[in-house]
Structures are given as C-alpha cells and as structure tokens.
Amino acid sequence: MEGKQHKRPALTVDGVLVEDEKILLIKRGNTPYRGMYALPGGFVDYGERVEDAVIREMEEETGLKTGISRLLGVYSDPSRDPRGHTVSVVFVLNFKYGSLSAGDDAAEASWFPLDDLPELAFDHAAIVDDFLRSE
C-alpha cells in the first residue's frame, strides 16, 4: 500500500432530535441545497469522534445541548451529496438544555410536526423515514 493514494469519502454526522411529535430541522444557509431544510449536522473534524461531532454540530447550528440516545444508522450512498462521496453517521439525540437559535451555517432552526415536513435536502427524508420506522 505504500506509495498508493486512495480517494476517501468525507465523514459527516447528522442528528435526529424529536420532542412532542416534532422534529428539529435547520434551513441551510450554504450550498448545496441553500434555503432547503435538513437535519442538523456537518463534517467531522480530523481527530474528532463522531459522537462528539454530532453534539458539537447540533449546538453550533441550533444552540441546543443534546445527548446521544442511540445510533440510527450509517448512510453511505456515493450520490447522497452533490459535493462528493460522504458517509454520514446518524444519531438519535435527546434534549438537555438551551434556547433554540440558528447559528453557524444554519440560516434558521425550527420544529416541524413529523406528519407535515418540508422537502428535505440530501437523503434526509429517507433518514427521517428510517427513524419513524424504528420507533
């Protein structure tokens, strides 16, 4: 393997936070999918555990402190992100404390009824469907 260069997918995380039959979504402030809603999440920093990354991203994008309830799944379809091959580790989270406020690259953070969701970016509609089936 020495001397060979291998292309590698980027590693991301997403968080599913549901309270009172509502799910927390962010409106994307950046491309791709600028202006569309998505689950809070983002890229894992080098040297960072995915568990720490999802907690960090949730707080940066929504202002909320959360904890991990469980792993929902790993989503790795090479076409899931138009920027290139990304693999997302998705966690179900629980609310600890904080006040909802959009930050980082989220233009807005809002709660949506699980039975009345906007169109979602990336493969996030499939992720939400998987969550609903897992409950």
Residue-wise pLDDT for 75-108, tens only, equals: 999 999 999 999 999 999 999 999 999 887 889 9
- Domain-located, residue 4: no
Assess if residue 123 is contained within a domain.
yes
The CATH number of whichever domain residue 59 belongs to comes to 3.90.79.10
Residue numbers of the domain that contains 24? 10-134
SS3 128: helix
5 occurs within a structural domain? no
pLDDT at 5 over 60: yes
CA–CA distance from 10 to each of 14, 100, 107 (Å)? 13, 28, 23
**Is the model's pLDDT at 1 over the cut of 60?**
no
Q: How is the chain split among helix, strand and coil, in percent rounded to 5? A: 20, 40, 40
Return the active site residues.
108
Rounded average pLDDT over 27-51: 97
Please state, in angstroms and rounded to a whole number, the distance separating the CA atoms of residues 50 and 79. Answer: 21
Number of domains comprising the chain: 1
pTM above 0.85, yes or no: yes
Half-sphere exposure of 132 (CA within 13 A, CB side): 13
